[in-house]
Structure 1
Amino acid sequence: MTRSHSLVALVAGLAFLGYARAVTLEVREGNSTCIKAELSASLSITYNTSNATSTAQVSLPESTTVDASSSSCGSNASFPWLVGVFGTGHALSLGFSTNGSMYNVSNLILQYNLSDPSIFPQANSSSVVTVVLTSVGIWARVNTTYRCISPASVTAAGVTVTFSDMKLEAYMPGDDLSPTESVCVADQVSTTVPPPPVPTTSPTPVPTPGPPERGNYTLTNSNGTVCLLAQMGLQFNVSFMSASQNKTVQELVNLHPNLTAASGSCEASSATLVLMQERTTNLTFIFTLNSTSNKYYLSGVTLDAAWPDMTAPFRASNTSLDYLRSTLGRSYMCSAEQTLAVVPAFTLNTFRLQVQPFGVSTNQFATAEECQMDQDQMLIPIVVGAALAGLVLIVLIAYLIGRKRSHAGYQTI
């Protein structure tokens, strides 16, 4: 009997340490499957106990199921998501994106519940922790299955997720994995002479993101009336200490509207708009109204960020700003890119911005007051056009004068 119990404990322990069989997860929309994954995943999570730190080793169990309410096939305004839930409040989520010819896992989110004593014994917290991992390295051609039997790991914020025996496909045209595969580099066996080693040079710079997508954000007051309207694309320019490079780096990061929730409040002389993206990025705008001049402006900006490569959470705040100034009863608009300096380590870039934090009526923007950059951009073609018109007029006058003189030389004496 003792041996039987020991055998059961050993099997359970092996499953706990990541030796479980692969799980199959599918996201369906109607009768069609849009995402399918067959994979094994082991998780290594470092957490705090009362007097030390400990590391939990757990595998994705066979009982993992797809959370239908959080998973999605995506749309024109949102990315596809596969959300697998297991245990007591734990979840592993994969977010996908595509450029038309390739698709990739653009975000991996692990949510774990420290109040689960079976995984986190003696944890000194009972909170639910969310960790976002980017640069997962899973890419495949559209209409092919990504296959990687070899183990592959991604690490961030004390968490390591290791995948193995993986087959998955997003943006599926059919209900089953495509027989055509995009095989990961680790699984590829070369039968040709390997190319010569690439000379070591300076590291390849991280590609900068393109212009951010424009988001639409609305606040309502207690009686349900719209009190703030904002449409804008937002991009962070942040300097922080990199954990992987052990030095200060500067990165441009776009805010994704489809992953962002808006909240805040509207008061008589102040309005606050809070934009939160997946619990890792919190951006706060504070607008102030001067009742004497009937002018409003952006007076404060605060950024709280906990991105994967940061050695510590980042916070920057400035409440003595004077940006986006406009008149009560009008909106402020600036289609050109603006750079709002907040603190030396953080500037905010805005694109195609229109905002009205006071005096909103009929749930629509009022007549806009345009920024100087937009006015200058409109002035340039006017000046160029006027200059061309003047040049044409000068040429015409010169031609008429020359023609008149030519005729005068042949008059009868």
Structure 2
Amino acid sequence: MAQYSKTHLQLVKIAFIAILGCVGVAQALTVEVRDGNTTCIKAELSALISVVYSVSNGTRTARVPLPDSATLGGGSSCGGDGRAPSLVVTFGSGHSLGLRFSSDGNQYSVDNLTLEYNLSDSAIFPNSSSAGLVTLSTASAQILAGINTTYRCVSDSVVSLGGDGVSVTFSDVKMEAYMPGADLSQNETICTADQRATTQVLPTTSAPKTSSVTTAPAPTPPGTPEQGHYNVTNDNGTACLLAQMGLQLNLTYTSSSNTTVQQIVNLHPSQTRHTGSCDQTSATLWLLEDRTNLSFSFALNSTSNKYHLSGISLSAVWPDMSEPFSGSNGSLDYLRGTLGRSYMCSAEQTLSVLTAFSLNTFQLQVQPFGVSGEQFGAAEECQLDEDNMLIPIIVGAALAGLVLIVLIAYLIGRKRSHAGYQTI
């Protein structure tokens, strides 16, 4: 009777997993990686794994939630001795999901996401025409946060692993690596998807909190910023986004002395790390400087073959701020160009993002799609450059016209003076 109950419970468990996989219900999971009594990685998240697999008459899609019964795998580590900090969870019959972290001292990120699934598990992959373990990984997990801050992303975030219809969708994520203590930091780095979900700054930094807030004097411009050169590569190592530009942040915030401050800050290319990601119709460039995290999102209309800058987000933790600044706008329409060509604007231009934040660009050239041969395509110039070229042309034409008028007047006057004499 005891044996029957155990078998019965196992069948119920398998059926329950299969039902969850069909309906795609993601469950909450909390795990932490420890080294002795020290916690180095902690994560609270939900994840839904989607796998397209082969059957005898075609393909099927298995949608498997990461169950709350998943356990910490043997590959988990706080790092050291040449190993990177890693979080690995195992579940079911040989399935696992792993996150490997890296840091530059100011930011930490997931630089590798690995999924391993077992096609021999008939509860999840019924009638699979293949068997055995499949391992896929990607460096484009798009999980990035400042040191001593918690990465937070409530929105769904889809990470694709190759072009075979395999993906992991994260949601309700709170995660921190390189932790100084046992609890998640109260300071948070908000993901771009959550920032796009609102049009206000999070937390609010632009509006005075009380009537006692004073306004600081207008800032002194720091001068023209140095032009930086940035690129984003695909998984195969070829460039998919090229950008060169000088950048200047114009930010309004409340200082620790309860004063509204407008500060203009140049981005320094020599101190800036860059990363990003590309797919068929979207591309992202992240620029990471000490205490500053700036990202650009580009979108491509595959029907018109036109692209544009659709979003800008900024996270900043500057010394004088009363609280961190985090804000974005995902409904922009700047830097419009044609697929296979670059957008160029040598003149200074201002990109308004939020009431409290704008971005000045100098000597800009960017191409987020259709990059060939690691070089910019033919440039499409901005209206400002065309206007700047038009002014000297108009002035030159006016001067030429004036010279022509003077010459004609001179010739007419000379002809009339000759007509006043008679031949003797």
5 Å-filtered alignment, 1:2-41, equals: none
- Amino acid aligned to 1:226: A
Give the 3 Å change call, closer, same or farther, for CA 308–300 of structure 1 in structure 2: same
Match for residue 287 of structure 2?
275
Within 2, Cα distance between the matches of 1:295 and 1:206? 37
Report the AA paired with residue 256 of structure 1: H
Per-residue deviation, 1:316: 1.1
Distance in 2 separating the partners of 1:281 and 1:359: 29
Per the alignment, in what secondary structure is the counterpart of residue 234 of structure 1? strand
For 2:240 and 2:395, the matched residues in 1 are separated by: 41
Note closer, same or farther for the CA distance 1:378–1:216 as it changes in structure 2 (3 Å cut). Answer: same
In 2, the alpha carbon distance for the partners of 1:203 and 1:284 equals 28
Q: Quote the residue 2:336 is aligned against.
A: 325
**1:293 and 2:300 matched:** no
Structure 1: give runs of 5+ residues left out of the alignment: 1-90, 92-110, 113-121, 130-201
How do residues 128-147 of structure 1 correspond to structure 2 at under 5 angstroms? Answer: none
Residues in 2 aligned to 1:404 and 1:389: alpha-carbon distance in whole angstroms: 22
Distance 1:232 1:287 in 2: 16
Q: What is the CA distance between 1:126 and its match in structure 2?
A: 8.5
Deviation at residue 392 of structure 1 after TM alignment: 0.5
Residue of structure 1 equivalent to 2:262? 250
Contact 2:252 2:261 in 1 (8 A): yes
Matches within 5 A, 1:6-405: 124-125=182-183, 206-243=219-256, 245-278=257-290, 280-405=291-416
- Over 3 Å counting, the alpha-carbon distance change for 1:291 and 1:211 in structure 2 is same
Q: Deviations over 1:275-333 (max 9, x none)?
A: 1102x111110000001111000000000110111111101110010000011111000
**2:184, 2:385 → 1: CA distance?**
51
Distance change (3 Å), C-alpha of 1:384 and 1:315? same
Instruction: Tell me the SS of whatever aligns to 2:399.
Output: helix
**1:72-92 C-alpha deviation (Å, 9 max, x unpaired):** xxxxxxxxxxxxxxxxxxx9x
Distance 2:375 2:249 in 1: 27
Is the contact made by 2:219 and 2:262 (CA closer than 8 Å) also made in structure 1? no
Instruction: Tell me how far apart the structure 1 counterparts of residues 358 and 184 of structure 2 sit (CA, whole Å).
Output: 35
Is the alpha carbon distance of 1:324 and 1:205 closer, same or farther for their aligned partners in structure 2, counting shifts above 3 Å? closer
RMSD (Å) for aligned C-alpha atoms: 2.6
Q: Residue 387 of structure 1: SS of its match in structure 2?
A: helix
Contact 2:245–2:365 (CA under 8 A) maintained in structure 1: yes
Deviation at 1:362, TM superposition (A): 1.0
Provide closer, same or farther for how the CA distance between residues 388 and 289 of structure 1 changes in structure 2, counting only shifts above 3 A: same
C-alpha change, 1:204 and 1:293, in structure 2 (3 Å) is: closer
- The runs of at least 4 aligned residues of structure 1 exceeding 4 Å deviation read 122-127, 202-206
1:296 and 1:214 map into 2 onto residues whose CA distance is 23
Q: Distance in 2 between matches of 1:337 and 1:260?
A: 21
Distance in 2 between residues matched to 1:412 and 1:386, nearest whole Å: 42
Question: Could you say which residue in structure 2 is the equivalent of 1:408?
Answer: 419
**Secondary structure of the equivalent of 1:363?**
coil
Task: Note closer, same or farther for the CA distance 1:386–1:251 as it changes in structure 2 (3 Å cut).
Answer: same
Residues 38-82 of structure 1: per-residue CA shift (max 9 Å, x gap): xxxxxxxxxxxxxxxxxxxxxxxxxxxxxxxxxxxxxxxxxxxxx
Amino acid at match of 1:360: V
3-state secondary structure, aligned to 2:246: strand
Secondary structure class of the residue paired with 2:285: strand
Q: Distance in 2 between matches of 1:249 and 1:205?
A: 8
Distance 1:284 1:389, change over 3 A: same
* Distance apart, 1:411 and its partner CA: 2.2
Give the TM-score normalised by structure 1. 0.51
How far apart are residue 207 of structure 1 and its match?
A: 3.2
How many pairs does the alignment contain?
Answer: 223
CA deviation after TM superposition for structure 1 residue 208, in Å? 2.5
